[in-house]
Amino acid sequence: MDGSPSSRPELPPHEPRPAGAPTALNGTLVADFSRVLAGPVCTQLLADLGARVIKIEHPDGDDMRHASQASIGGLTAAFLALNRGKQSLVLDLSSPAGHAVAIDLISRADVLVENFTPGVMKRLGLDYDAVAKTNPRLVYCSVSAYGQTGAAARRSGYDPVIQAESGLMSLNGFADGPPVRVGPPVVDVSTGMMACNAVLAGLLARQHTNRGQHVEVALFDTAANLGALYGMSHLIDGGVPARFGQAPPGAAPVGLFEASDGPFYLCIVNDRLFRRLAVDVLGRPDLADDPRFSRNRARAANRPALFADLAAIFSGRSREDWMARLQDANVPAGPVRTVAEAYASPEMKARGLARAVAHEIAGTVPNIGPAVRFSHTSTAAPVPAPALGQHSQTVLEELLGYDATRCAALAAGGAFGKAQHGR
């Protein structure tokens, strides 16, 4: 159900990008066969960098179009969050007519991104070996759960399952409780970022090799890298890292504390910061001089006593008061916010991350800006995620050069599925 305009946060309009500024990937054409999450993260980043991304969708559309979430202008929050700046072309790849259009598009593309289960693109005749024959400069990126080869290659994989299997989930939660999944899809999003890096490296390599290549990224591999700090420890001494909740074992005080009116997180990772906390924030130089607390190793060994002292002190003042004191002393700490509080925060506003962009049905839709900034090649102006098949006619006629007769023949041949999409 579309949200009520009165209940939505009021967002400032997007600031126009510098007039005439180039983009990093201007002139780059991306054939995007990905759907759901990791692949679309990759291609949205490429679109942000200025590539023209053609999102090839099944006639039923990307599953994220049907997510049970808030929606606006007929688009779900999940789809809006992952498909900014793309053009939607509906194709039934199982039909000869739809397959022919896909081949034509791929022959012109610089990049192809797909995240089907390994083997699907080969079955469709769209695998790297098949399409590289006619487009040897193509950078072809495959995103999968467990890689393109091996016993697990054809298994379906989803973010929380990968969290469980990779060991990430075993590190999250409290020592006396069960493993807990990380709420946001960190493996999917990180894999999409890895895939974008791989594509950019492929494009850079093409400049001096004059040929494309097949690059692949796997969710499981990304998860292993996300947990590398703990995996490396295990590989060195054979130990099994355990859940530590809010307080990691290596430094103190690091953890959640309660002010008189709410929680905040404190991160003291060295002796210099602890002295600053004790002297400049708390007015308690005796804590910094106490042999139990003067060195990080000693603080870690005496964590219960240290945390008890700090808890008593922090409970005596409001969170706002402590935040002002901590920030004045440049001690790393921050309030534990809800999502609503985070998006209303001065930090969010200062970075201009949440903005409103024009939408032909809803008037405006929210946009969360990319996490990269460039001094010369500014990111592309944000365009909301497309309606299903919104750009089919544009892609067919303007990019591929098809006339009305050919488009009608393709439709009759089932290229776009049983329903007619596009305008």
Rounded to 5 degrees, what are φ and ψ at 188?
-60, -50
Quote the longest CA-to-CA distance of the chain: 85
Residue pair 336/256 in contact (Cβ under 8 Å)? The answer is yes
DSSP letter (8 states) at residue 315: T
Distances (CA, A) of 59 to 41, 66, 123, 413: 21, 13, 19, 14
Based on its alpha-carbon atoms, the radius of gyration of the chain, rounded to whole angstroms, reads 26
**Choosing from 62, 159, 188, 309, which is the catalytic residue?**
188
**Cα 361–Cα 362–Cα 364 angle in degrees, nearest 5:** 120
Write 317-325 long-range contacts (CB < 8 A, 24+): 317/259, 317/260, 318/259, 318/260, 318/261, 319/259, 319/260, 319/261, 319/262, 319/263, 319/264, 321/259, 322/259, 322/264, 322/281, 323/264, 325/281
Residue pair 244/237 in contact (Cβ under 8 Å)? The answer is no
For residues 335 and 322, what is the distance between their CA atoms, to the nearest angstrom?
A: 10
Token pair of 198 as six digits: 């791989």
Which DSSP helix (H) or strand (E) runs through 220?
helix 219-226
Residue pair 218/149 in contact (Cβ under 8 Å)? The answer is no
Give the amino acid at 241. Answer: P
Of 133, 134, 130, the closest CA to residue 119 belongs to 130
Residue pair 87/386 in contact (Cβ under 8 Å)? The answer is yes
Known catalytic membership, residue 159: no
**336: phi > 0 → left, psi -120 to 50 → alpha, else beta; which?**
beta
- Strand 262-267, strand 254-259: pairing: antiparallel
Residue pair 312/356 in contact (Cβ under 8 Å)? The answer is no
Residues that are catalytic:
188
